[in-house]
Structure 1
Amino acid sequence: MKSSGYILVVVALVITISAAIYQKKTGPTYEVGVDLNWHGVNISGELTRTHGGEGDQPLVINVPDSSMYATIIYKRYNTNNPWIGMKMQRDGDQLFGSLPHQPPAGKLEYFIQVNQDANFVILNEGKSVVTRFKGAVPLIALLPHILLMFAAMFLSNWAGLAAIKQDEKMAMLTYLATAFLFVGGMILGPVVQKFAFGEFWTGIPWGFDLTDNKTLLTMVAWAIAAYMVYRKKSARMWIIAAAIVLLLVYSVPHSTMGSELNYNTMEIQTAD
């Protein structure tokens, strides 16, 4: 491989890693960090926004002052249910509590209030947090899905850059990107979703789940590019377009407008 070829690989890898980090940190399930000084005491921890598998969702915060205590206050998300308070238990410098287990795609809205005498502060600058529950996804299904989707993103970026440079590898990379995307997104993606939320597919034509529809859009884009390569047509611009589509899709935070349990009907729908 020529030095210019190595440069394409490195640039594609940097774009892929940057996009993956951005998507994770901007997604609605990324934990909210807490770090504040209140009455001379440093309070820290993470307000988690997702929980998989059986059991309640654990919550832990660091509050070194034993004169302080905290309460988790929660309710079912998007309902008129009353707020419920649950006092956290102290063990050394840490306070422990949990949110009650919910059915797959069920969401709870919660906040943590720290008290000292008659004073109190609500963590996360007074804003509540929404967490979503899901079923346990076996590692044998989840790990290949993640790796294949990461590889598909990398191959897509590499193919797009190769097409811009008119590198002869763009045809092979197009086939690989399409194949990895198909297996990782269209086969393993629904399997992972079935374990997590009980449904294989909630995108078009059966629903408007954004994650499913993003996968479908990128699959169509790359299938067209692969077809144009196969027909030996002028595929260069199709490859570039498919790579741009996938990159734009990855700029949308993962799990945005995902599955959500409607507590009134107890049916899973697409979140707003």
Structure 2
Amino acid sequence: MSPAPSLRSRAALLWLLAVLLMAATVIYQRRTGPTHPLRGTVTVGGKAVAYRFIRSEETVREARVALPDPGVPATLVWRRFPVQEAWTRQAMVREEKDGRAELAGYLPKQLAAGKLEYSVEVGEPGAIQRIPATDPIVLRYKGPVPAPLLLAHLSMMFVAVLVGLRAGLGALFGPEAPRRLLWITLACLTLGGLILGPFVQKAAFGAYWTGFPWGYDLTDNKTLLMWLAWAAAALVAGLRPRRSEVWPRAAVLAATLAMAVVYLIPHSLRGSQLDYGKVKAGADASDAVVTGR
């Protein structure tokens, strides 16, 4: 086989591996984190009932909590989080949705970054089961983000992950640092994370940036860490190959490792949270949002 086809085959294989790694990253991010739906199965009256309870909702509507009708009554139990107040109890009603019967209850709208904690009690008196059986579910409200803005932000971040992983694989298995991929990754992180990301944050929670040095938002800090790692790699690698590619390749690998570590941390941990105490004291809602909670 000639060298050119061999190089093309290796490049295609590395791209395929990068795509698979990115897909695994996306699936992991969708399945983890405090805002993704909580899924599980509970047995009620000898019947298995699969539930999917939401943990995120927009400020423009009530949050619908529903489960397949188990044939027994259910009650939605909730209160503001983390306010130590009496629990509100609401009987869930039978509704038809997508051709199946459900029991549904509705949590009231909250301000951006406001949170409610809730659980569902199922069964007749004397045989009530609480879902979940341990701690209540915490649901956070966010402002609506324009679809084009959110799509552009997510697209840039996904491309950054894909190209960044491919750059790391190229640095690991190639003779020199893949500079073109490095600079594409940095550009996508800059646009998606540092430019579009703050606009998404502003629409959702009322502030452009809540990470270092003004706050403790973990998502913002993760984005900053990734950007700094790739910016440092770009400074080390430069624009043209060097006599020794040891340090440029090492810099790209370090940046890829930093990206991998960041994406192993579930999304939306230690994010924005409304301080109901400040709101009660008369503070504007935009000034009552704290981070790192």
With the shorter chain as reference, the TM-score category is: over 0.9
Give the structure 1 partner of residue 4 of structure 2. Answer: none
Say whether residues 1:102 and 2:110 are aligned partners.
yes
Question: Structure 2: which 5+ runs fail to align?
Answer: 1-6, 280-287
3-state SS of paired residue (1:264)? helix
C-alpha RMSD of matched pairs (Å): 1.6
Distance, in Å, in 2 between the alignment partners of 1:167 and 1:97 is 60
Say whether residues 1:82 and 2:86 are aligned partners.
yes
Structure 2 residue identity aligned to 1:11: L
- The answer as to whether partners of 1:153 and 1:246 remain within 8 angstroms in 2 is yes
- The answer as to whether partners of 2:156 and 2:192 remain within 8 angstroms in 1 is yes
TM-fit CA distance, 1:270: 1.4
Query: Per-residue CA shift, 1:200-249, capped at 9, x if unaligned?
Result: 00001100100000000110111111122226564111111011101100
Query: Per-residue CA shift, 1:14-33, capped at 9, x if unaligned?
Result: 11111121122111111111
Normalising by structure 1, what TM-score?
A: 0.94
Structure 1 residue identity aligned to 2:202: K
3-state SS of paired residue (2:278)? coil
In the TM superposition, what are the counterparts of 1:170-181 in structure 2 within 5 Å?
170-181=178-189
- The answer as to whether partners of 2:171 and 2:249 remain within 8 angstroms in 1 is yes
3-state SS of paired residue (2:110)? coil
Distance, in Å, in 2 between the alignment partners of 1:264 and 1:144 is 36
Match of 1:41 among 47, 50, 53: 47
Normalising by structure 2, what TM-score?
A: 0.88
Structure 1 residue identity aligned to 2:203: F
Give the structure 2 partner of residue 150 of structure 1. Answer: 158
- The answer as to whether partners of 1:41 and 1:63 remain within 8 angstroms in 2 is no
> How high is the sequence identity, in percent, across the aligned residues?
36
Give the structure 2 partner of residue 218 of structure 1. Answer: 226
3-state SS of paired residue (1:202)? coil
Give the structure 2 partner of residue 14 of structure 1. Answer: 20
Distance, in Å, in 2 between the alignment partners of 1:204 and 1:54 is 30
The count of aligned residue pairs is 270
Match of 1:132 among 134, 137, 140: 140
Say whether residues 1:236 and 2:249 are aligned partners.
yes
Match of 2:217 among 209, 212, 227: 209
Give the structure 1 partner of residue 282 of structure 2. Answer: none
Distance, in Å, in 1 between the alignment partners of 2:9 and 2:159 is 22
Distance, in Å, in 1 between the alignment partners of 2:229 and 2:292 is 25
Give the structure 1 partner of residue 3 of structure 2. Answer: none
Distance, in Å, in 2 between the alignment partners of 1:203 and 1:126 is 31
Please, which moves more after superposition, 123-132 or 227-236? 227-236
Structure 2 residue identity aligned to 1:123: I
Structure 1 residue identity aligned to 2:260: L
Distance, in Å, in 2 between the alignment partners of 1:53 and 1:10 is 40
- The answer as to whether partners of 1:42 and 1:63 remain within 8 angstroms in 2 is no
Question: Structure 1: which 5+ runs fail to align?
Answer: none
TM-fit CA distance, 1:45: 2.3
